[in-house]
Each structure stands twice: as C-alpha cells, then as structure tokens.
C-alpha cells in the first residue's frame, strides 16, 4: 500500500489552493508591514532586516495559530 492509499498523506494542493494560500500570505504580510511601519514611525527603510523579519514571523505565527 502506498502513502497516498493509506489516507495519511494528503494530496498536494491544487493550483487554485496554492494561489489562495499565496494571496492570504500576501495579505498577512502587508498588514504586518503596515502595522510595523505605523508603530515605529521611523519607516521600514531605516529598520534592521532582523527586526522586520521577526515582526513578520510573529505576525504569521499569530495568524497561523488562530482558532
């Protein structure tokens, strides 16, 4: 029996599902960048990449674990 037949391995996402997931991710990242830019008041261009990356990661993880 293959993994696909045992029902434990999900089938790969369809192209439509991939585009929907990408759109959702773009929306989350845009919200995070806008919030970060507004909260800091210094503009994203002046922020260290590490700070931007951490803020984006925090936002993505918060959205991912929402019930």
Whole domain around residue 59: which residue ranges?
13-64
Q: Does residue 20 sit within a domain?
A: yes
CA-closest candidate to residue 33, choices 16, 12, 17, 49: 49
CA triple 22-28-30, angle to 5 deg:
100
DSSP for 19-41, please give it: HHHHHHHHHHHHHHHHHHHHHHS
In a domain, 24, yes or no: yes
Question: Residue 50 domain-assigned?
Answer: yes
pLDDT at 1: 45
pTM for this entry: 0.60
- pLDDT reported for residue 67: 59
| Distance (Å, whole) CA 26 – CA 55 | 15
Q: Is position 39 within any domain?
A: yes
7 domain residue, yes or no: no
Q: Provide the domain count of the chain.
A: 1
Q: Is residue 30 part of a domain?
A: yes
- pLDDT-based confidence at 65, cuts 50/70/90? confident
pLDDT digits (tens, 9 = 90+) for 7-23: 688 888 898 888 888 88
> What digits encode the pLDDT tens for the residues 36-61?
888 877 777 888 889 888 888 888 88
Of 62, 29, 65, residue with least CA distance to 37? 29
Structural domain includes residue 60: yes
């Amino acid at each position: 029996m293959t993994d696909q037949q045992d029902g434990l391995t999900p089938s790969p996402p369809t192209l439509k599902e991939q585009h929907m997931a990408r759109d959702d991710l773009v929306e989350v990242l845009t919200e995070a960048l806008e919030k970060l830019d507004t909260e800091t008041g210094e503009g994203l261009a002046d922020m260290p990449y590490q700070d931007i990356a951490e803020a984006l990661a925090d936002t993505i993880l918060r959205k991912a674990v929402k019930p």
